[in-house]
Amino acid sequence: MTKQSHQVLFWVTVFIFLNLLFGWKWNSFIDSFYFTTMLMPIAVGTSYFFNHKLVPEYLQKGKRIQFFVYTLYTIIISVFLSAIIALVAFIFLSDLKWSNMNPIVGDLFQMGIVIYFITILYSFIRLYNAYIESKAQVSQLEYEGQKNLKKTLIVRSNRNMISIALDDIQYIESLSDYVKIQTLLEVIITKEKISQLELKLPGWFVRVHRSFLINQHKLEAYGHDFVQVKSEKLPLGRKYKKDALTKISLSQVNS
């Protein structure tokens, strides 16, 4: 499910909840539907403007003063629009006479408070999640950067720890119960899984098949179903084909 689908589902759920809550309180689901339909677009618009305009344009760029000023303006405008809706309700339901005022008019303020509480809570939850995602992305970038600085790969082979220069690795092949690392001068056998080695290696090592991981720097040719590393022609797996060809194409453009 996409983020947009989650947001639509969230607001539809809020809409149904408010209709049921105030429809039960007023004994009129028609009135509840009418006023919820009028107030919800303001709340959704406020939330959208806050999350997709103010946060990325000002808060995330360090413009905190502008962010708080424009947030205040947004709240004032949205409250003003809600007040207009309440005034319209007052005109039509009570004939501008306080003594004739329908209880629904007074409850509109409660509905507005509930909607804005949900909107603010939702916006700050999204803001917090964006902060957590941002920290995770920074951590991932730092981790990838550290991997790219690595010069060697250390594996256990024949009960010894062996250091292999990354530039010497041509490709890695996963066999039944062991992994074969093909270097320029020799073949090194290890019990480590190819998926574990993939996590240790920098970005220029590409998984092209469930059994093969290649060094892009050693790539000489490729087609729709194969890659050629030095003199070895290796299969290009259907599951890994799209990502592998994308990485290979990008590396050739940047080289």
Is 6 buried (19+), middle (13-18) or exposed (0-12) by CB count in 10 A? exposed
Q: Tell me the pLDDT tens digit for each residue of 71-127.
A: 777 777 777 777 777 667 666 655 545 455 555 555 656 666 777 677 777 777 777
Q: Is the dihedral of CA 39, 44, 45, 50 positive or negative?
A: positive
Tokens of 109: 């303020």
Is 253 buried (19+), middle (13-18) or exposed (0-12) by CB count in 10 A? exposed
Q: Is the pTM of this model over 0.85?
A: no
Contact 155, 181 (CB under 8 A): yes
For 6-19, the DSSP string reads HHHHHHHHHHHHHH
Predicted local distance difference test score (pLDDT) of residue 94: 52
Predicted local distance difference test score (pLDDT) of residue 98: 46
Q: Say which residues have a Cβ less than 8 Å from residue 42's Cβ, sequence separation at least 6.
A: 78, 81, 82, 85
Q: Where are the domains of the chain?
A: 3-147, 152-254
| CATH of 152-254 among 3.40.50.2300, 1.10.3720.10, 3.40.50.1220, 2.40.50.1020 | 2.40.50.1020
